[in-house]
Structure 1
Amino acid sequence: MAAATEIQLSLKVVMVKESNKVLYAEIDSNFADVLLSFLTLPLGTIVRLLIKHYGNNAPILGSLNSLYASLLNLDSSHFSSEAGKLMLLNPRNSLETECRKLKLQIDDTPPVQYFVCGNWTCASMYYSVKCLCPNSANTMTRTDLEIEEQSDDESVFTEKTSSFLLLDNLQIRTNTLASFFQILKSNGIKDTNALEERTLIVGLKEVNLCNIELLVFLPPLCFITFVFFIYICSHQIMELLKGSLLSKTPITDMVHLISSATATCNERKEFSACYFLPESKRRKQISSDSKRITVKVLVQKSTNRFLLTEACKDFIDLLFSLLDIPLGRVQSLLGSNTCLGSINNLFWSMRNLELLKHIKRIDSLMEPKIPPHYLSLHQVFSLDKKSSPLIYKQQDSNRVKSFGSASPGSGYTQMKMIDPKGEDGFVKGPTTFMVSDDMVVSPTSSTFILKTLNHLKIPIHDVEEKEVEVGLEEALSILKASLTSICALSEGLKPFLK
């Protein structure tokens, strides 16, 4: 990944002087590519990046932070393999080949590496994988992979010559006169002297703030006079990612370096007011053969409050697998009604017919696939899996190649790709697990239940056990609640209690 001191992106931001809010930003294809790449990031990667960058001040994304922390802290003995746990902690991006071309790469996940067994018959995309081939020493070693087919196209998601207007709520418009005047009209701007322009230089590495103010005198016939402020700011791409999830004005926040990590109570209530999909949309996504998982729920009788949920490995697999779903696929699953900041607007912008000729790989952005081996047997969502690469060993040598869609021809033997998580899912049974309302997962323990009841000061007579069947509809509800609520199971499952 190139250092921000070497590669930086700039955008022109037009602001309303009186309110000091962003009206729109003029961005090129490089910046648009970075912005659209947010949709390719798995939820677990987003949580990990925000925690790594902000530390103790990391924003709380509903119950995803606590779910990720419990995954990290859960002993590896509860997983089918160590590699499976590492896969969940570091979910891969199915579009990582394209994202490697970004001018600014926000995702620090290392590139894919390939490993082969001692017999040169099995291969894996993940480390810590054990091979069961005879006389292979049960280990796999890293190897260099030659890829025959590589695209020479340097563009990522947008055409290189394209230019866009980005609204403060992350709507993208084509950079045309019609779009410009429509933005002015819709915001009630009648006098262009009320506007000012700022040029923002964006990078990932921290640099010093440069206090440069340039007054630009335009020709007398120009009806707009702008004041240019050049800011060289630190970490603004991370601010933009955070703002896209938590703020309705992420560009204004980025310009002012306003932290959106702690949304107000009113904002949280506003987000939580729209958890569930409309009935008609939910029914369209539910099939009669949808997998169903039974869980037991401890509920406080007097308040109907969720206390703890007891479940087997299939439900825990489902919860941990939420971290593998790319943000764009989450938007698609929930009908772009996630109640997250402004990311919904970015997602829906791609349906604008005017943008179709400027944006590539729209299907991959709106419904990104899941990387190979990440789909568990206990998955209830309608997710598409990216196929594993076909790896071939050249006969009479130790050269390993991938030919993409081409035929390898004679002289090559296809290698077997190993599923690192095991055939039965990520989590190992028959242990049952307790899940708190904010999706902290731990092995079932009677002492933990007692401590929970004592901490909440709830008497035994006020507790009852109920059962919930979790299928696609319930899983979608949990997914949606997990994005914005620290009571994800209550919000997600309460409507389905028997």
Structure 2
Amino acid sequence: MADKTVKNIISLKAVVDKGSNKIIFVESDKDFIDVLLSFLTIPMGTIVRRDTKHSVSHCMNNLYASVSGLLQTEACKEMLLCPHNGAESHCENLKLKIDNDEPTGYFLCDSWQCTFENKSISHYKGVLCQCGRCMNLKCSLSVSSSAEQGGGIFVKESARFIITDDLRVMSPLSVASNPVFTKLGAMNKNSTTEQKTLNIGAHEVLNLLLRSLVSKKPLSETLLKLDPVPTPNPNLSLDQLILTSIESLLLEDMMNEEEEEKIVVKLTVSVSKDIVCYAEAGEDFVNLLLSFLTVPLGFILKHLRDASFKGCIDQLYNSIKDLDEQHLKSNSHKEILLSPKIYPGFCYENRVLGMEDGPVASYLYAYWKDDQGRLKDVLTTDAALIPSNAVTVPLKLKHDKCPQGYLKGSTVFLVTDNLFITPISPAFGFLVLNLLKVPLTDIKEETVQVGKKEALRLLVAAFLRNSALTDVFIRQMNQEEFIKRAWLSNR
């Protein structure tokens, strides 16, 4: 038990300003930096599920809360409420994880013969096999001892890093000359700094992630146990959502001239308040919104551009851009962090977000008789674990959802401004209007189209804001129209 406790703790050397009781930086080896970098691969659904203090916006929380009543199967619910990480094969060997629930499940058809005929495997119990039976036979995945080697996961074995309170990552060689530390007073002769050894476990790692979404000093707040987690500011600047550069705006318009499948959404808008009260939409739009829960945090940060927001997780993302193969294991590992992918099978047919599935593991199922004539079997991704006399079949990952998405069937849905979703209901629509204090005489209907640009903006707005529909379809469109008119008038 003692060994397990030690294994689940990472010790960090921290330089602390005694006067302000604030961490200036911590020194890290591969174990902690790998944990920190893995934040970028975590799906939003996992973050919302672990976020009991609601650091994430109401929009993401409402999407999560909407799932239970909308989806076609229990497996689909689990795909959104407990989404797999697209970099799961890398992150499974992290020393500390925010999500230590049950490991990935592997299920085969109840019929042994069917497994060899239909060659299917599922991560979810009860998924319907092609033969009509349920896939309920639970298996364990066997891995080679070499797969559990030491060494870094994203960074090299011997790499060491300095991490500032706002999660900027840099080489220890740059500390003395870096203006960041001079500004903080760490290099002054009158500095009141001291060195401390601080321990971090899985609970602190989760707090660090959540605080990085809403605070500029998450290390101090987590490791020195300072203020409680701040609540997100619903009045954040829209700079990261609205294109203020004319050149960028025109470039996106040119990109959108290419043929692109659009989703049609009908908005009910308050004329006097200039807000979206709710939207009426089909399953294609709702599937898009629900898919936000499977999107990794790093993909959202990639589309924040270079604008700032209340948290500092973007500093971590931007730091990785400056790291090279001297620190990271390879450029492919860098790509995993800067452009993280969705777990295989979690994308639906309408890939309007431009997300890609991660690489699909090659699962092998084999059986043989040992020297005593006993029947043995193994599920693995490593062919070296299979004896030469075994009968082997490659398996294909099966998901319990149609390619078009997660929903039970074709219907119309009502979506509120903060992205709570329910099947269409006039009574609920009236309730929303009453809560917003919007009379029927003050509403109008507008039809909008959602392509890739609007989908990405909705994703970012859902992450940052509590009024995603208004921000994307009212405020941004008004701002863009103003910019276009100003540009045209100066030609």
Report TM bin, short chain.
0.7 to 0.9
**2:355 counterpart residue number:** 383
Aligned partners of 2:228, 2:453: CA distance in 1, in Å?
31
SS in 2 for 1:448: helix
Worse overlay, 244-253 or 385-394: 385-394
Name the CA shift for 1:3/1:89 in 2 (closer, same or farther; >3 Å): farther
Q: CA deviation at 1:268?
A: 4.7
Gaps of 5+ in 1: 52-56, 206-234
Distance in 1, Cα, partners of 2:252 & 2:376: 51
Q: Report the alpha carbon displacement of residue 42 of structure 1 after superposing the two structures with TM.
A: 0.6
Partner of 2:166: 169
Aligned to 1:239: 207
Residue 244 of structure 2 is aligned to residue 274 of structure 1: no
How many Å separate the matches in 2 of 1:363 and 1:34?
Answer: 17
Structure 1 residues 168 and 404 mapped into 2: Cα distance closer, same or farther (>3 Å)? same
Q: Secondary structure at the match of 2:427?
A: helix
**Structure 2 matches for 1:20-419, cutoff 5 A?**
20-51=21-52, 57-71=53-67, 74-75=68-69, 78-117=70-109, 118=111, 119-120=114-115, 121-134=118-131, 137-147=133-143, 151=147, 152-176=149-173, 178-182=174-178, 183-187=180-184, 191-204=188-201, 235-259=203-227, 261-263=229-231, 268-277=234-243, 280=247, 283=251, 286=255, 288-335=258-305, 337=307, 339=309, 341-353=311-323, 355-360=324-329, 361-394=333-366, 399-403=377-381, 411-419=391-399
Deviations 1:269-313 (A, max 9, x none): 345553335555564595523331011110011222110111111
- Could you tell me how far apart the structure 2 residues matched to 1:405 and 1:290 are? 42
TM-score (norm: length of structure 1): 0.82
**Would the aligned equivalents of 1:307 and 1:437 in 2 still touch at CA under 8 Å?**
yes
Q: CA RMSD in A?
A: 3.0
CA-to-aligned-CA distance 1:459-487 (integer Å, 9 cap, x gap): 21111111110111111111111112111
Corresponding letter in the other structure for 1:127: Y
2-structure distance, mates of 1:238, 1:132: 37
Identify unmatched segments of 5+ residues in structure 2: 369-374, 482-491
Counterpart secondary structure, 1:415: strand
Corresponding residue SS for 1:394:
strand
Tell me the secondary structure at the aligned position of residue 476 of structure 1.
helix
Q: Secondary structure at the match of 1:101?
A: coil
Taking a change above 3 Å as real, the CA distance of residues 313 and 340 of structure 1, as seen in their structure-2 partners, is farther
> Separation in 1 of the partners of 2:161 and 2:450?
43
Give the whole-Å Cα distance in 2 for the aligned partners of 1:294 and 1:32: 43
**Native 8 Å contact 1:61 1:483 kept in 2:** yes
Cα distance, 1:95 vs structure 2? 1.7
- Distance in 2 between residues matched to 1:295 and 1:83, nearest whole Å: 28
Task: Kindly state the Cα deviation for residue 148 of structure 1 after the two structures are TM-superposed.
Answer: 6.2
- Structural mapping, 1:425-464, within 5 Å: 425-464=405-444
Counterpart CA distance in 2 for 1:104 and 1:4 is: 11
Shift of residue 315, structure 1, vs aligned partner:
0.7
1:30–1:160: 8 Å Cα contact kept in structure 2?
Answer: no
With 241-250 and 179-188 compared, the bigger mean Cα shift is at 179-188
Tell whether the 8 Å contact from 1:126 to 1:420 is kept in structure 2 after alignment. no
Residue 404 of structure 2 aligns with an amino acid whose one-letter code is D
C-alpha distance in 1 between matches for 2:58 and 2:99? 21
Cα pair 1:292 1:469 within 8 Å, conserved: yes
Name the counterpart of 1:232: none
SS at match of 2:235: helix
Provide the rounded CA distance (Å) in 2 between the counterparts of 1:284 and 1:463: 31
